[in-house]
Amino acid sequence: MNNNNNEPIIVAENLTKQYGGTTVVNNLNLKIKKGEIFGLLGPNGAGKSTIILMMLGLTEPSSGSIRVAGFNSTKEPIKVKRVTGYLPERLGFYEDLTARQNLKYTAELNSIAQKDIESKIGEALEIVGLEKNKNQPVNTFSKGMKKRLGIADVLIKDPQLAILDEPTEGLDIKIANQILDNIQILNNAKNITFMISSHQLNLIQKICTSIGIMSKGKLIGEGKIDNMGRGLFSEGRYIIEIELSNVNPEIIQKVRTIKSVVNVESNDNILEITSDEDIRSQLSRVILENNMLITKMNIKDSSLEEIYLKYFKEE
Amino acid sequence: MRGALTVYRKEISDYFSSKVFIILLALIYIAGLGFAYLSIQAIKSAPLSSDQSLLIKVFIDELFFLKLFTVGEIRALMTFNFVRFFGAFIPLIGILFGFNSINSERNSGNISRIISQPIYRDSLINGKFLAGITTLSLMISSIVFIVMGIGLRTIGVPPTSEEILRIFIFIFICIIYGTFWMSLSMLFSVLMKNVAASILTAIPIWLFLTFFWPFIAPQITDQIIPVEAGATLATQLSNISLSVDLLRISPFILFYEATAAIVDPTLGHFALRVTESDLSKLIARPLSLSQSFLQVWPQMVVLIMLAFICFAISYIVFMKQEIRST
């Protein structure tokens, strides 16, 4: 396995897809590095699934190109699919067959040598915690078990890249978290690059090393979560929220004079301070010098949900 | 091709473990054995009534063994025999093998998982198609061979090499016929998302072409070329020829003509095109194998073409269909 983590595993250039006049993916440029857990986030219909289908060569782009692991997805789909595992959003198995039989079929479609198949199935099922259900028909499985089986199905081929489309949708938090833990462990232990498409931000946020936000076919934000929050909220500035025992115009004036403060807004006892730097220590000194009490202070968290809401409010 | 082979193996094992297959197999065996019993009874009783020994009958009748498949009971002006039964039942097998082949994969959500494996997309449809033909062939040939075996034991007359050849051609025609119906219902399974819709389209088409068209076609002919009392021979002939042409729209008629000329060549079938030189032979003795083959060649080609066209359309539509995640 290649451990050079700076090399991109997915490169999309000016990728566009139109379905009968409507543009589903609009001039997308994206690079995902090896070893990342990349979260592709956006509401339903933002074009996430279409990007995935184009990555796997299942749908042809209208223009532009996409390369996965160095292969052009449109021209060499078989080579791409050999190194890429895919968990579809609407995941289905052959219900009458057992978990083992389903995975065996996948293994055979991947031309895995017969002698290795059983051990690979055992290993994959153990990772997702289904080894006890190996010989159970899939129609006895719960939704969460099926998703886990789906991940085992992806692992069978020892992928370099795993693309998971809505892996936690419709699952309760506990099971969703188990799946996310699995992903994180696999990312570390097997150096599998993950690309997770989802609209469940809070869940996915925890494990992503970087994210991209999609809206109406466009990638409107991309990068590390921390950087992204600041970038999106206040043009790269910090927003500090501070609650005081009481607020008077004098203190607002004093705060404004602190270096790098751009704006101060007051609302009852709460001040919202925009600045170019993290000025919390100066701020508390100024306030204490004025014999005022800080009841609460925090840097507005760039939680994914807020980023996300922000984006969709702007629409 | 490797991918298609894997799909093929999986589909074959699916067929052999499916309930539909077991029920169809049981039905075709029961009915096949029933018709074999009927024809054996008829053959055995014939010599007694006509004062001939079985041996003499064999010498007179060149294609004695084939009677197993063509002698039957006449009830309500319809002959019920093995060939007729096959003509009616094989389409049903074909339809049941094909109607859910693609849309069930789509509905169950398996399709995106399977074609995201490193195989070409056509591997799925090719593998399924070949597996269907194989299973169909096994079903048809096994019951024919069983009936042959029983016939051999009970009548005690071995088939001649010509008869064996004729039986193989008969099996081949049956397989083509079944393949046509399978590819037709497969086409519906590609075109229609709903499994029920595809079977509810295929079955009425089968019913119409098999059971109603033979009654409707002559009616249409009579409207176009009416034959009144005192009509000329030319009018009568053109009426008949138009009627035959119309009838041949139904694959059932094509199948019937083809199998009749192969396994029952002594009868004067309405649609046989007989050359002058054959005419004298026709009355006295059955058509030779090569003549029979010549007679059924067009029917066979048409059936093969129909099967091929249906599969080709399914293939093209399937390859062009967008694979959406939902």
* A59, A95, A109: residue with CB nearest B322: A59
pLDDT value, residue B72 = 59
Give residue-wise pLDDT tens across range B22-80: 999 999 999 888 888 877 777 776 644 444 444 444 445 566 677 777 765 555 444 56
B322: which chain A residues are within 8 Å (Cβ-Cβ)? 19, 59
* Residue A149 pLDDT greater than 90, yes or no: yes
B19-49 helix and B82-98 helix, angle to the nearest 10 degrees: 170
Give residue-wise pLDDT tens across range B220-245: 988 888 877 777 888 888 888 888 88
For chain A, percent of residues with pLDDT exceeding 90:
36
pTM: 0.81
pLDDT value, residue B244 = 86
* Residue A19 pLDDT greater than 90, yes or no: no
Q: With an 8 Å Cβ cutoff, are B110 and A153 in contact?
A: no
Q: Is A160 on the interface with B (CB under 8 A)?
A: no
pLDDT value, residue A273 = 83
A173-190 helix and A114-127 helix, angle to the nearest 10 degrees: 130
Cβ neighbour number for residue B300 with a 10 Å cutoff: 20
Spatial contact of B164 and B148, defined as CB atoms under 8 Å apart: no
pLDDT tier for residue B285 given thresholds of 50, 70 and 90: low
* Residue B308 pLDDT greater than 50, yes or no: yes
Give residue-wise pLDDT tens across range B151-164: 888 877 788 888 88
**CA A43, A49, A55: angle at the middle one, nearest 5?**
140
Distance, CA of A198 to CA of A204 (rounded, Å): 7
A35-49, A236-250, B93-107, B202-216: least confident range: A236-250
Write b or e for each residue in B216-245: b if 16 or more Cβ atoms lie within 10 A of its Cβ, otherwise e.
ebbeebeeebeeeeeeeeeeeebbbebbbe
The average pLDDT across B201-218 equals 91
pLDDT value, residue B270 = 40
Distance, CA of A111 to CA of A108 (rounded, Å): 5
* A56, A90, A111: residue with CB nearest B326: A90
Q: Higher confidence at residue B307 or residue A279?
A: B307
Distance from CA of A34 to the nearest CA of B (A): 21
Spatial contact of A284 and A271, defined as CB atoms under 8 Å apart: no
Domain segments of chain B: what residues? 2-203+230-320
Q: With an 8 Å Cβ cutoff, are B325 and A89 in contact?
A: yes
Spatial contact of A110 and A82, defined as CB atoms under 8 Å apart: yes
* Residue A5 pLDDT greater than 60, yes or no: no
Identify the H or E element spanning A149.
helix A143-155
pLDDT value, residue B273 = 44
- Write out the two tokens for B81: 């025999």
pLDDT value, residue B271 = 40
Chain centre to alpha carbon of residue A153: 20
Q: Higher confidence at residue B84 or residue B131?
A: B131
Most trustworthy range by pLDDT among A252-261, B74-83, B266-275: A252-261
Give residue-wise pLDDT tens across range A189-222: 888 999 999 888 777 878 888 888 888 888 877 8
pLDDT value, residue A163 = 94
Distance, CA of B324 to CA of A88 (rounded, Å): 10
Distance, CA of B156 to CA of B150 (rounded, Å): 9
Give residue-wise pLDDT tens across range A53-80: 999 988 889 999 999 999 999 999 999 9
Mutation pick from B12, B108, B117 vs chain A, by most beta carbons of A within 10 Å, is B117
Distance from CA of B163 to the nearest CA of A (A): 43
Mutation pick from A81, A105, A143, A161 vs chain B, by most beta carbons of B within 10 Å, is A105
Write b or e for each residue in A261-300: b if 16 or more Cβ atoms lie within 10 A of its Cβ, otherwise e.
beebebeeeebebbbeeebbebbeebbeeeebeeeebeeb
ipTM of the complex: 0.81
Give residue-wise pLDDT tens across range A133-147: 999 999 999 988 999
pLDDT value, residue A103 = 95
* B6, B117, B322: residue with CB nearest A81: B117
User: Which residues 114-133 on chain A approach chain B with CB closer than 8 angstroms?
Assistant: none
Distance from CA of B319 to the nearest CA of A (A): 10
* A78, A88, A157: residue with CB nearest B112: A88
B118: which chain A residues are within 8 Å (Cβ-Cβ)? 78-79, 81-82, 109-111, 157
- Domains in chain A, please, with CATH? 8-223 (3.40.50.300), 230-314 (3.30.70.100)
HSE of B109, CA atoms in CB hemisphere, 13 A: 14
The average pLDDT across A276-283 equals 80
Q: With an 8 Å Cβ cutoff, are B117 and A110 in contact?
A: yes
DSSP A85-106: EEE-SS----TTSBHHHHHHHH
- Listed residue (A14, A160, A5, A4) closest to A79, CA to CA: A160
- For chain B, what is the mean pLDDT? 82
* A52, A90, A109: residue with CB nearest B114: A109
pLDDT tier for residue B272 given thresholds of 50, 70 and 90: very low
pLDDT value, residue B262 = 82
Cβ neighbour number for residue B177 with a 10 Å cutoff: 30
